[in-house]
Every structure is written in structure tokens, then in C-alpha cells.
């Protein structure tokens, strides 16, 4: 699908690095197909040494060459980047934006007729276990959506949603790693409290969450059913779950996602 295409990245930060690592590891493209642009020459040298990719300091030059152009920059600089490349972007170039809060309409108003795809990945793409949601712009066909999905599938799981749900994606999976880190940290403290070293407690906590998540994904069972499988009558698990319900942990997580979703909407309106 990406054979013989030139793939460009404007912005060579952590997200670009994770995506480049994933797509090269998957074998869907060769390093010779990649060109990366960044304002930092040090960062460009690092990526060249790491992946043997071509780099450039000229975003317009890259925009002219790229068949697929990933905009992996911070939201606050997106308008500046798009203004720079708009005069040279071809209508056959596929634009993939990963900037939170930057809408498809914002991009398409600046680049009319150009196929644009908006993606909200989370930070776990860095370890190949990310969760990404994609939304297709007006000129992005289903085949373009499949191509973009294949790229992000190389670093985790992918779903396609309407853009109206992108703020909810941000609130749930985009911000979700932060919630999970709080849980891991709290479980680690609990492990220390009951006698483990912090290192052992952290391993027990993190691996337990990883294993539980994998059980949900690989069995396809509802988490409530899996929970019931480990809650023996009068046992330790149901005793602990009872305390979690008393303390409102379930409601707090729901409230956190709703609040983060609303904050994403507010940021998008600015």
C-alpha cells in the first residue's frame, strides 16, 4: 500500500520516532522512503543515526516530495506549519495530522481539495502498544483510511470514528495512560505498605495491569465476567472490590474521562 511512496514527517519528536520505528519494524516501507523535517538539527542527526532516514530542514521541500505527509508537531505551531506548506502541497498528497484539537475543517480550509486524516494516538505507541483513533476528512477515501490505519496498527490498535468523537477519544484513550499511571503508582504504594520493596511492588502492580488488559483483549470477554472469575465467595478479591466501590473509584474514573473530554472541547474552541 505504501510501496514506492515517499513518506514525510514534519516534526521529528517522540511521536514521529515511535511511528518510524513501528513502520520500519513492520516492513511496510524501507528507510529510503522516509524524509524527516525538524527545526532541530541535533534531532535530525539523531534520527539519521538511529534509522538511516533522509532529513531536511526545509518543510516546503519535504511537502513537495511527500506522497504521504505526517504532521507530527505540537498544536500551537500547527497553523504556522500549515501556512508554510500550503502553497506547495499537491491535491494528491495525503496529509495525516496528529495534533490534538486541530480539526479537519481547520486543515481543509487551508488546503482545499487535499485529503486529510486526523489521528489521535496515545503515548503507548512508543512501545508498540498504542491506541489510535482516526477520522477521515472530506476528500479522504476509505482506501486512504485503510492505509493510515495500517501505519498506526504497526504501533498498536486502531479504530475509525467520526470527528465528533475525537474529544471523547482524547478524554479516554489519549489521556488514559495518565490515569493508569496513577493506578500503578497507588498499587505500588500499597505493595510497599504491605511489606514489599518498591521495585518488587512496582513490578507486581504494572505486570498485573498489563496481564489483565491482555486478558480482556485476547479473550474478548466482558471485564465484568473476568472480574467474576476471580471473585470467590467471601474471598480476597471481592473484599478489595467492595472497598473500591465504597471509595467511588469507578465513579471517579468516569468523571475523569468526562472532565478530560470537556477540556479537550474547550481547547479546540480556542
> Would the annotation count 178 as a binding residue?
no
H helices within 174-248, ranges in order?
176-193, 198-219, 223-229, 236-246
What are the DSSP calls for 132-151, one per residue? EEEEE-TT--HHHHHHHHHH
Beta partners for 130? 156
Annotated binding residue 14: yes
To the question of whether residue 10 is assigned a binding role by annotation, the answer is yes
Q: Is 134 annotated among the ligand-binding residues?
A: no
Nearest in space to 142 (alpha carbons), one of 97, 94, 98, 100: 94
Distance CA 104, CA 67 (A): 19
* The three-state (H, E, C) secondary structure of 36-87, written as one string: EECCCHHHHHHHHHHHCCEEECCHHHHHHHCCEEEECCCHHHHHHHHHHHHH
The answer to whether 11 is a known ligand-binding residue is yes
15 in a known ligand binding site:
yes
In contact, 94 and 125? CB cutoff 8 Å: no
Q: Binding site membership for NADP(+): which residues?
A: 10-15
Annotated binding site: 10-15
Amino acid at each position: 500500500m505504501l510501496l514506492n511512496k515517499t513518506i514525510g514527517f514534519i516534526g521529528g519528536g517522540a511521536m514521529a520516532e515511535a511511528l518510524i520505528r513501528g513502520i520500519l519494524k513492520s516492513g511496510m516501507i524501507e528507510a529510503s522512503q522516509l524524509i524527516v523535517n525538524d527545526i532541530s538539527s541535533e534531532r535530525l542527526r539523531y534520527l539519521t543515526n538511529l534509522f538511516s532516514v533522509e532529513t531536511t530542514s526545509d518543510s516546503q521541500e519535504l511537502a513537495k516530495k511527500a506522497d504521504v505527509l505526517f504532521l507530527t508537531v505540537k498544536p500551537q505551531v500547527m497553523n504556522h506549519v500549515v501556512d508554510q506548506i500550503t502553497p506547495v502541497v499537491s491535491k494528491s498528497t495525503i496529509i495525516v495530522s496528529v495534533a490534538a484539537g486541530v480539526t479537519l475543517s481547520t486543515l481543509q480550509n487551508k488546503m482545499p481539495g487535499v485529503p486529510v486524516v486526523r489521528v489521535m494516538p496515545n503515548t503507548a505507541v512508543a512501545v508498540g502498544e498504542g491506541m489510535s483513533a482516526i477520522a477521515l476528512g472530506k476528500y479522504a477515501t476509505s482506501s486512504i483510511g485503510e492505509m493510515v490505519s495500517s501505519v498506526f496498527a504497526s504501533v498498536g490498535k486502531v479504530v475509525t470514528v467520526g470527528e465528533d468523537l475525537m474529544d471523547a477519544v482524547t478524554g479516554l484513550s489519549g489521556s488514559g495512560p495518565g490515569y493508569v499511571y496513577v493506578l500503578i503508582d497507588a498499587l505500588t504504594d500499597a505493595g510497599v505498605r504491605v511489606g514489599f520493596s518498591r521495585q518488587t511492588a512496582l513490578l507486581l502492580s504494572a505486570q498485573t495491569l498489563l496481564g489483565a488488559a491482555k486478558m480482556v483483549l485476547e479473550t474478548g470477554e466482558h471485564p465484568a465476567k473476568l472480574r467474576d472469575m476471580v471473585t470467590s465467595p467471601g474471598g480476597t478479591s471481592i473484599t478489595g472490590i467492595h472497598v473500591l466501590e465504597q471509595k467511588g473509584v469507578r465513579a471517579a474514573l468516569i468523571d475523569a474521562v468526562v472532565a478530560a473530554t470537556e477540556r479537550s472541547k474547550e481547547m479546540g474552541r480556542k
